[in-house]
Structure 1
Amino acid sequence: MLNLAGGNTTHLRDSIYYIEDGTVVILVESTLFKVHQSMLIKDRSTFQSMFSLDEHSVPKQDEAASTVGPTTREGTDDSNPIVLQGDSADEFRALLWSLYSLPSDILLAMTAEASDLKFIHLAQISHKYQFRSIEAWALQVLTSYYALGSVTPHIETLVQLTELAVLCDSSDLLNAAILKWKRMVGEGKALSTIIIVAERLNLRGVLGLAYHSMMLKGRSEWDADPLLSRSQRIRLLSGHYTLSQICSELPSTPPRLKHANSCLHRSQCKIGWAELWKTIHTTKEGGISSQIMKLQSADLLGRMMLAESIIKAFGEGIPTEGLLDDIHEKCFKAALKTTQEKVKEIQENLVDWFSDVM
C-alpha cells in the first residue's frame, strides 16, 4: 500500500488539498496531496499503523551513515510520495474533505442534491482505511437521503450505492437501495440491467421481481435484448412454464385457512373459503374477478395481489352476493391475513421459479 512514486514529474498537485505546511505527500492516481499526518491518524485509522511501520523502517543515524546513498523517508516530498494503491483521487479528496471541512461546509453538503456521490466515495475509502466514525456517519447520511421517496437515483449511482451497502454490511442502506430497485422494476425500467446487477449482488427479492416483470413482456422482448445471456433466457422460459402451471391450479388451491377459536362449524367454514377463493379466480366476464381473468396466464404475483385486493374489499363492506355466508367473521379476517402473507412469500421467493434447468 506504501510504495515509491519514483519522482514522476507528470503528477499534478491537488488544487485544494496540497497544503504548503503539510507534513506528508501522498500520491493517489496521478494527483499529489500534501496534508498533515496528524489528520490521517484520527479515529485509529489504518494510517496510524502505516505511518508507525514507515518510521520504524528508517535507519537510525549511525546506521544511515554506513549505508550508500540517501535514506529519504517516503512521503517527504513530491519526488518521493506515499503511493496509495487501488484508490481514486475523488475518494481520497472526499476523505480529506471530511477531515478538514468546517461544520458549515459539511451541513451545506448534506443538504445538496449532488452530495450523494461524495458520500459514496467517503464511505468507501473510510471503510477501507477504518475511519469507523466517518464511515458510520457517511452511511447514515446516505441512508437518510435515499430513504426519501422523492429521490430517484441514476442506475449507475444505485449500483454504487448497493455495492457500498454490501461492502460495509449496512442493512439499512441496503434496504433503502432495494426499495429503489423494486420501484424501478415496477416501472419496467432497465430490467435486463437490473437482472444482471441483482444476480451479481445476490439481491433475491429484486431478482425475482425483475425476472417476473421481464417474463410478462414476452419472449420476443427477451430475444431482442442484447444484455440477456442464454442462461437468463432459459430461466425466463422455465419461470413462464412453472408459473403457468401454478396459476392453472390456483382456483383449487386456496391459502390455508386458520380458524378462529370461536368457529363452531370449521368444516362448513373451510368449504365456504374454498368456494370464495375459486369464485374469485374463475368468475365469468363482468363478475367480481373480471380483472384477474385479464391477467396473463403466468402472472402469479398479479393474480395473488388482485385476489388480496378483492378479499380486502369484501371485508370493507362491498356487496358479496352471499359469498361470505358460510365463513365465520373472524375466520374471514384470518383468511385475509393468510392471503397477504402468501403474497409476501411469493414476492420474496419468485426467483426460485426461474431456474436454468428445464
Structure 2
Amino acid sequence: MVYQPLEEKRLKVEEIFDNTEDKNLDPSTTKWTKDPDYYHPDGDIVVLSENKLFKVHRFLLTRDSQLFAVMLASSTMTSFTDHRPLALGDSEEDFRALCWILYALPDELFCQADHAYQTTAKSRRLMSVFDITNKYQMKSFRQWSGEQLAKHCRNAELLSTCTVGDLKRLIITANTCRMHDLANSVASIWISRMDIVSLKCALTIAESLYSRWFEGRVYYFALLHGLRHNIGQTST
C-alpha cells in the first residue's frame, strides 16, 4: 500500500507560547485540580491540561525534545507555577500519557510491551503517547511507541474497541512519521470493522493520504454491503 507522505507539521516555540497568554487562565475563576499521580512537589514547572495541573521536572521534558529545550530556555518562560501554568492545549488524557512515558519504570515499559499484559486502556494510552511525542518532536519516544503500536495491531482484539477518532488519529500520525507498516495495519483493522458510521470518515482519510489501496477497499466494502448511497460526496 502506498501513501503520499504528509508534510510533518513543525510546531514553533511561538505557537506554544501563544497558548500561555490566554487571559482566561485565572485560578480564582476556574476549578483547577492537581493530578493525583503527576503533580510532583519537587517538580519545577507546572503545566495545565484542561482543568488539571501537572507539576513535572523540566529536564524530562527537554532531554528528548529540542522544542521544549528551546522554549524552556527562554528567559521569558522560566517560571510556570500553579497561578501561571504553562497551558499547552493538550487534553488531560494526552498529557498524562506523556507524563507516564517520561516517568515510567522498566517494569512498566516491559508490561506495556508484553502482549500478555495488554488492555484496551493501555493501547489507548500508547496512542496518546505516539501522538503527543510526535507533536513535541520527541523522536526516541515516538519511535518506541510507534513500534509498540505496530505490535499491538497484530492482535486485532486490542484495537477492536477503538473509536473512529482513535483510528483516524493513529493512521494520520503514522503516515506523518512515515511509519507506513503501522499505517497499513491500522487501515486493515479499520476495514475489518467498517460500518456505516466510519465509512465516510475512512474514505476521507484514504483520499487525504492518497492511498488508492485503502480507498479501493472502502468502496469495495460499500458495494459489497449495498452501502454505495451512504458514501456520497467527500471532500479532503
- Pick the aligned partner of 1:50 from 41, 56, 71: 71
Q: Which amino acid is the alignment partner of residue 112 of structure 1?
A: Q
Q: Which residue of 2 aligns with 1:121?
A: 128
Q: Which has the higher contact order (CA 8 A, sep 6+)?
A: 2
Residues 163-178 of structure 1 mapped to structure 2, 5 A cutoff: 163-178=172-187
Q: Write out per-residue CA displacement over residues 135-190 of structure 1, whole angstroms, 9 at most, x where no aligned residue.
A: 00000000011023555523523333222212322111112112223434xxxx41
Q: Write out per-residue CA displacement over residues 289-329 of structure 1, whole angstroms, 9 at most, x where no aligned residue.
A: xxxxxxxxxxxxxxxxxxxxxxxxxxxxxxxxxxxxxxxxx
Q: Which amino acid is the alignment partner of residue 134 of structure 1?
A: F
| 8 Å Cα contact 1:178-1:206 kept in structure 2 | yes
SS for the counterpart of 1:13 is: strand
Q: Which residue of 1 aligns with 2:201?
A: 196
| Larger Rg over CA atoms | 1
- Pick the aligned partner of 2:147 from 123, 140, 152: 140
1:21 CA displacement = 0.9
Would you say 1:83 and 2:87 are equivalent positions? yes
Q: Which amino acid is the alignment partner of residue 127 of structure 1?
A: N
SS for the counterpart of 2:84 is: coil
Q: Which amino acid is the alignment partner of residue 99 of structure 1?
A: L
Would you say 1:112 and 2:118 are equivalent positions? yes
1:50 CA displacement = 0.4
Structure 2 Cα separation of the partners of residues 33 and 140 of structure 1: 27
Q: Which residue of 2 aligns with 1:211?
A: 219
1:198 CA displacement = 2.6
Question: Which blocks of at least 5 consecutive residues in structure 2 are unaligned?
Answer: 1-15
Equivalent pairs counted in the alignment come to 204
TM-score by length of 1: 0.52
| 8 Å Cα contact 2:133-2:139 kept in structure 1 | yes
Change (3 A) 1:190 1:166: same
Q: Write out per-residue CA displacement over residues 97-132 of structure 1, whole angstroms, 9 at most, x where no aligned residue.
A: 111111112222333222111111001111111111
TM-score by length of 2: 0.76
How high is the sequence identity, in percent, across the aligned residues? Answer: 25
| 8 Å Cα contact 1:4-1:80 kept in structure 2 | no
Structure 2 Cα separation of the partners of residues 83 and 182 of structure 1: 37
Change (3 A) 1:16 1:34: same
Q: Which residue of 2 aligns with 1:238?
A: none
Worse-superposed segment, 36-45 or 208-217: 208-217
